Amino acid sequence: MSYFDAASAAPLHPVARQALQASFDEGWADPARLYREGRRARLLLDAAREAAAEAVGCRPDELTFTTSGTRAVHSGIEGALAGRRRVGNHLIVSAVEHSSVLHSADAHEASGGSVTRVQVERTGRVTPSSFAEALGPGTALACLQSANHEVGTEQPVAEVAQMCREAGVPLLVDAAQSLGWGRVEGDWSLLAASAHKWGGPSGVGLLVVRKGVRFAPQGPVDERESGRAAGFENIPAVVAAAASLRAVRAEAAEEAGRLRELTERIRARVPALVPDVEVVGDPVRRLPGIVTFSCLYVDGETLLHELDRAGFSVSSGSSCTSSTLIPSHVLKAMGVLSEGNVRVSLPPGTEEEDVDRFLAVLPGLVSGVREKLGAPTAVTKVPASTDALVVDALGRRCPIPVIELAKVIGDVPVGGTVRVLSDDEAARLDIPAWCEMRGQEYVGEEPADRGSAYVVRRLS
């Protein structure tokens, strides 16, 4: 079985496993106690904090261990907003942030705060100028991920951090996907990360708050972790997290080069092997191990099951998967095709042979899924006399509305239109994406008795 979903959770690094086992014997006692066992536990905790701080590039007393990366994000946003409430209640986030950031933004908005969601380019990247435009006198905090978790696009953190610093606004960076590869550059103010993303154990997050940043921890005060993370420290897990971060960093330069070659092979070969595919994300400024592509006329859940049966574990942002009924918010913000979406995220140590085998089986699996759905293989129909058609796809989910559109586009003359009736949220994203891929004109969306009517004009 080839595990290609490291962006969700990387396999436990051997160093993490060794550190866990060793720490179970020495790190079980209360590190706040002064007796021998407590002192041993404290030494382990302090050493882990120093190692993690060195990897991040901060002072040890600026770094807090939390119970998860999500908890680090929530605590960081809540504490920074509370610490700067006299300045204002305006929060800035990018439209492609991890759901933990967006959920915090929603909660802030629901409690009376204001939120600006900065849009991104088609590659998934924000522009520093768009962030600068969002900054204002009442801005309390800005948030920007270092790299995107779904498409791998790296963000211009250093430039945005400089603009935020000049405006007197702290910047929180979600570094969960990138910290294993290197430090986050720039003059950022807060940082959050999660150990299971770099091969550490789950249940350990990092929250860094730079000295001088106004920060007011929310919730009941706890004497542990400087009052920023309540509860007894899981010292074996913390030690394993720090040890594995140091280990993956030592391997990062060599492994990054190797994985970039493998993902570039996927980026180049998939469109050549599989027709009607869009590779998404920035082609250059991206993480080493992530490549994402979307296949027209493909049910994402079915394709994932077929890949699983073939021995490949991958992820998807498609709306037609069991975990969601709407497209990934990242793909939606980028305005790219969502149906048949596949994210391949290679863990360190991935063999070249595994990638070659993936490329060998993918075309047949995609073809089989399309055949089951009755997808068109080519447009061979003779134009009919009518210059307008209506396709009723109400109640039918991704990718059926696009398949039905593709089947009938040849039935109208050049200049004629097709109105696709659909109540599937994915159609709002996938029909315009299909038009761009197929060289047809997306006229727009119109209201309908049920759902919406998506109007497409045939250009060729």
Active site residues: 320
List of residues 6+ apart from 137 with CB closer than 8 A: 88
- Sheet with 171-174, side-by-side order of all strands: 63-66, 205-209, 190-194, 171-174, 139-145, 90-94, 114-118
Instruction: Return the structure tokens found at 300.
Output: 């994402």
212 and 170 Cβ atoms separated by less than 8 Å: no
Question: Got the DSSP string for 68-120?
Answer: -HHHHHHHHHHHHHHHTTTT--EEEEETT--HHHHHHHHHHHHTT-EEEEE--
In angstroms, the CA 230 to CA 239 distance is 18
Cα 204 from Cα 68, distance rounded (Å): 5
Task: For residue 231, give both structure tokens.
Answer: 């509860």
Determine if the peptide bond prior to 399 is cis (ω within 30°): yes
Residue 3's DSSP bridge partners are: 313
Residues 198, 9: contact at Cβ < 8 Å?
no
Within 8 A by CB and 6+ apart from 267, the residues are: 279, 283, 291, 293
Nearest to 22 by CA among 1, 4, 50, 48: 48
Contact indicator for 58, 173 with CB cutoff of 8 Å: no
Per-residue three-class SS string for 172-238: EEECCCCCCCCCCCCCCCEEEEEHHHCCCCCCCEEEEECCCCCCCCCCCCCCCHHHCCCCCCCHHHH
Q: How far lies 311's CA from each of 1, 91, 301, 305, 354, in Å? A: 5, 43, 15, 10, 10
